[in-house]
Structure 1
Amino acid sequence: MSKDPLKIFELLEILDNLKHLKRTGWVKCGVPEPETVACHMYRMAVLAMSLEGQIPSLDINRTVRVALVHDIGEALIGDITPHCGVSEEDKQSLEAEAIQKICSFVPAISDEINALWWEYEKRETLPAKVVFHLDKFDMIAQADAYERKYGIDLDQFFTSTRGCFSLEPFIAWDKELREKRNVRRENDQNKDKDNGDKM
Structure 2
Amino acid sequence: MYRMSLMTMLCPPTLAPKLDLFKCMKMCLIHDMAESIVGDITPVDGVPKPEKSRREAETMDYISKNLLGKVYGGLAGAEIRAIWQEYEDSKTLESHFVHDLDKMELLTQMVEYEKRGNKALDLGEFAYVATKIVLPETQKWAEEILRERDEFWGTKAHVHGEAGADGGVKADKVKAQEAYYNKEGAAP
C-alpha distance in structure 1 between counterparts of 2:42 and 2:130, whole Å: 18
Tell me how large the CA RMSD over aligned residues is.
Answer: 1.6
**Within-5 A mapping of 1:42-191:** 42-51=2-11, 53-55=13-15, 56-103=17-64, 104-107=66-69, 108=74, 109-150=76-117, 151-158=120-127, 160-188=128-156
Q: Aligned letter for 1:165?
A: I
Give secondary structure in 1 for the equivalent of 2:45: coil
For the residues of structure 2 that align with 1:99 and 1:111, how far apart are their CA atoms? 10
Flag structure 1 segments of 5+ consecutive residues without an equivalent: 1-40, 190-199
Q: What TM-score, normalized by structure 1, do the two folds share?
A: 0.70
Runs of 4 or more consecutive aligned structure 1 residues displaced over 4 Å after TM superposition: none
Tell which deviates more after alignment, 72-81 or 145-154. Answer: 145-154
Contact 1:120–1:132 (8 Å) recurs in 2 = yes
Q: How many residues align?
A: 148
| Contact 1:69–1:113 (8 Å) recurs in 2 | yes
Q: For residues 52 and 83 of structure 1, what CA distance do their matches in structure 2 show?
A: 32
3-state SS, counterpart of residue 100 of structure 2: helix
Q: Give, in angstroms, the shift of residue 188 of structure 1.
A: 4.7
Look at both structures and tell me which one has the larger radius of gyration over its CA atoms. 1
Identical residues among aligned pairs (%): 32
Pick closer, same or farther for the CA change 1:105–1:54 going to 2, 3 Å.
Answer: farther
How far the C-alpha of 1:184 sits from its partner, in A, is 1.6
CA contact (8 A) 1:52 1:60 kept: no
